[in-house]
Amino acid sequence: MSPGDLGELVKPFVFLDYFETASFGGPRLADHPHSGIATHTTLLQGSVDYRDSTGKSGRLSPGGVEWMQAGGGVWHGGDLVPGERIRGYQLWVALPASLERLPAFSHYLEPSAIATDGRVRVLLGRHDEVRSSIVDVSPMTYLHVRLQDGETWRYRPPIEHDVAWLAVNEGKLHVAGEVIAKQMAVFEEGDGALELRAEGATELVLGSAAKHPHPLVCGSYSVHTSEHALVLGEAGIRKVAAQVRAKG
């Protein structure tokens, strides 16, 4: 998903990438900028050494999560740990106007810090009585779900959510009369319940939210609510780059 296609239907969720290394190794993930969004990366397998322009660095373990609230401008990057196969999801979330120009903030969570009920990991927001430790930026829920062959699961979005989607990376999922495999599905707007049934061991991510009320104004690595905000965000990116270079 990108802002120019399905992102327009399910904003504030505006970008989704399932990544998986084709071979073992440790390539460098080049430093790159963002503004106006938050990025959420969850590792399903493998480890990544991370760094960002807020001054944080370390190693994200399998099952860990990176939350980068880019706001007015940030740079980040990393390195894949040699000898490990890496796979996971990266999601971009369009920030509300009140947050899109604030200083960048990053949060790195080890697997043990991810809220779960044993079947569902709550990556953002809440599910039933389980809540993510990542601070809410708008009304939204983002879940990582594993189902066994033949297992059924029902998800009812909170009443204030009117967009919902899911993406299946392993197995097959029966939902709304369709079979979804290695695909993303977007549901009609509304807060109706989703009835899911797994065919084979199935892994997916699912998101629901109150729809982002602003247009998506995009730069190369940025999404803002207006042209003016984009200009300021890209200026912020350049300012952060200059500060990083000055520090060596």
Q: pLDDT per position in the chain (248 positions), as tens?
A: 999 999 999 999 999 999 988 655 555 678 999 999 999 999 999 899 999 999 999 999 999 999 999 999 999 998 888 888 889 999 999 999 999 999 999 999 999 999 999 899 999 999 999 999 999 999 999 999 999 999 999 999 999 999 999 999 999 999 999 999 999 999 999 878 999 999 999 999 999 999 999 999 999 899 999 999 999 999 999 999 999 889 87
pTM across the whole model: 0.94
Task: Give residues with Cβ within 8 angstroms of 55, minimum separation 6.
Answer: none
Q: Measure the CA dihedral 220/41/50/21, to 10°.
A: -90
pLDDT for position 224: 98
Q: Where are the domains of the chain?
A: 7-247
Beta bridge partners of 115: 122
Name the nearest CA neighbour of 86 among 42, 50, 27, 43: 43
**Torsional sign, CA 91, 40, 74, 52:** negative
Amino acid at 95: L
Q: How far apart are CA 60 and CA 78, in angstroms?
A: 10
Q: How far apart are CA 240 and CA 248, in angstroms?
A: 13
pLDDT for position 29: 75
CB atoms within 10 A of CB 26: 15
Distances (CA, A) of 200 to 117, 124, 171, 195, 234: 21, 26, 5, 16, 45
* Buried/exposed code over 39-65 (b: 16+ C-beta within 10 A; e: otherwise): bbbbbbebbbbbbbbbeeeeebbbbbb
Name the nearest CA neighbour of 206 among 141, 112, 118, 162: 141
In 3-state terms the chain splits into helix, strand, coil percentages (rounded to 5) of 10, 50, 40
Q: Are 208 and 163 in contact (CB under 8 A)?
A: yes
**Whose structure tokens read 């998101």?**
207
pLDDT for position 192: 86
Task: Check if CATH label 3.40.50.2000 holds for domain 7-247.
Answer: no
**Whose structure tokens read 């740079």?**
75
pLDDT for position 191: 77
Tokens representing residue 165 in the block: 């989607």
Name the nearest CA neighbour of 42 among 68, 65, 17, 62: 65
